[in-house]
Copies of this chain bind each other. A is one copy, B any other.
Amino acid sequence: MGDNTEASPWASAGDRRRSRLDKREAVLRAAAQIFNEKGFQNTSLDEVAQRLNVTKPTLYYYVRSKDEILFECVKIGLTMVQESIQEVEVQGGSALDKLRAAMRRYAQIVTMDFGRCLILVGEDPLPAESQVKLRRIKADIDAEFRRLIEQAVAEGDLRPCDPKIAAFTIAGALSWIARWYKPSGPLRPDDIADQSITLLLTGLCRPGKGEN
């Protein structure tokens, strides 16, 4: 609560703005959850409104269309990934340390509402113009992972490899978690992330067994 709300029964402009942003995020999150459960095409704005106990006209105060909702959900998922890479850079360490930390955060994000929506629904149902914008962010993220891989090869921690194929192998293995992870299942997101990342970094084979 802002300081001046105690003196006035009306919320301050700042509080109103924050409340509006919170409510908009609640709309986006509820929509992402339903998209993830039953698919984008099969979700109506009526269901989103119902889950939030509001009317459809109330929704339109926060978002213009189902397309806008999906665009924003995917963008939030991508932004979470971008921010995680920035945090990793700030923490420092070797490129391998950074890569491992970025992989861990990515694996966690794809088990969360917006991250799951990024993988399970993605930008494909959107108009071409929106697709282009989101794919540009995806390409940036991909470039960051390739850069970390190249650095870790240069620092002698990773085997020499095609950074493009390595980045896609990582992205595929970790994104797939969004498809099979069940919040009600026995495996916890952190355990999945740790084990999957160890497999990717050290390989499935015992040392000396996988070379062919």
Residues on the B chain within 8 Å of A192, using CB: 165
Question: Would you call A202 and B205 a contact (CB within 8 A)?
Answer: yes
Q: Does A204 contact B (CB under 8 A)?
A: yes
How many copies of this chain? 2
Within 8 A of B (CB), among A167-212: 168-177, 179-180, 187, 192, 195-196, 198-207, 209-212
How distant is the Cα of A68 from the Cα of B173 in the complex, in angstroms? 30
Q: Which of B124, B156, B196, B210 contacts A169 (CB 8 A)?
A: B196
Kindly state the separation between the CA atoms of A15 and B99 in the bound complex, as whole angstroms.
58
What residues on B are CB-neighbors of A165 within 8 Å? 187, 192, 195-196, 199
Of A124, A173, A192, A204, which is in contact with the most chain B CB atoms at under 10 Å from its CB?
A204
- Find out whether the CB atom of B206 lies under 8 angstroms from the CB atom of A169: no
- Known A-B contacts: A159-B202, A162-B195, A168-B177. Give 18 more (CB < 8 A): A39-B125, A41-B41, A96-B205, A149-B204, A157-B209, A157-B210, A164-B187, A165-B192, A165-B199, A166-B199, A166-B204, A169-B199, A172-B173, A172-B174, A172-B177, A173-B200, A201-B204, A202-B210
Q: Nearest 4 CB-CB pairs, A to B? A: A172-B176, A203-B203, A201-B210, A202-B210
